[in-house]
Structure 1
Amino acid sequence: MKTLTYVSTKDVNDLTWPVTTANTNLYSPALSVFTDFQKAGPRVIESSTRADELVLLMRKEHVRMKIVVDAKNHFIGVISLEDLSEDVFIKQVANGYQRSELMVADLMRAKETLLALSYTSLQKSDIESLLFSQRNNKFQHLLVIDEDTKTIRGLISSNDVARQLRLDIDVAFSSFQHIYQSAILGQKEHGKKLKVA
């Protein structure tokens, strides 16, 4: 057994913060808003989880989307708080389901219906190009695939883009389409540059 060393915090004044680009703007590399699963593991949920329990779990974790896996941890889809809205539950109950019977598999967006961005193309892009390519995307998350390894490499969240660009919008209701309108079209309409730190 190893002995651990303890140190007094009396003379410690500072915190370690992640390294961030202080002046992120539309021309910054798209990778600056990318969540790489090699550095921060994916947030996953099994498809057999009760949907109503997942809502509570996601709110507790402050997470808006999870990657859905089967019992063998294979990727089968995604589920977001939008997919778990009260309206969705009401429609399912109206169709004869019991709320407590609904599983993640019943409400998720299956991988066959999803499009993801190529990691190779993301590496060569800036944020402006990313937003332009997602100008019609009404969702908050975009998966990124490493085509060499045929794996989900990570994701991009519209909320992360809005925060990095310091856009004056409510991120709780943002989507890529909304971010594009605020960042690109809003900038052109007002002839202003984005506020960045």
Structure 2
Amino acid sequence: MIMNSMGTDKDGVGIACGAMAGVSLVVGSPAQQHLPTPSPFTDSVTSTRWSSQPSIHLSNLLLRSLALLFSLISALSLAAPSSQNGDAPFSDYPELRYCFTVTILASIYSAFQLFKGVCDISHRGLLISDITSDYISFILDQMVGYLLMSSSSVTVLAIERDELAASLWKATMVAICMAFASFLVIAACTLLSGYKLCKRIIW
């Protein structure tokens, strides 16, 4: 009788232990299944293609925009007085023709560089490879800067002429100032291109 009761107790304890183990397994397994899994995209910040670009690209776009603006103002300031009655056109003076031609070339070059900069940000390396682009930009920036500086220096000689009309004289002064401002911006672009080229080759 005692042994039966002891056997019964042992069986009951065994059943209870088994039941508790089963409960612990059943209770523990859903908790383990619902543990939060860290995602690699949890801390990612949504950003546009423009905001994710380094500041050097945005600085390049700003400088190219200023160069385009100053070059266009210089060229248009010479062409505007030619439409007025009684004023000799700027094409009668070789210095002014040279300044107009150089500023038009600088405008076209700045527009191309601006377009290329936007394409490089949107689709990197689509038009031309980065290393080739750095070489070309560094060389052409120096050439355009030299032409702008020489045109500003040559146009100063036209101011000393007495036969210039008042409107054309004022336009020439504006053209010189804007051409020199465009030269300063192109010079900054040259430094930026040289920095990018040295960083790519040496560093």
TM-score by length of 2: 0.27
Query: Which one has a larger percent helix, Structure 1 or Structure 2?
Result: 2
Provide TM-score, normalisation by structure 1. Answer: 0.27
Larger strand share, 1 or 2: 1
RCO comparison, higher one (Cα < 8 Å, 6+): 2
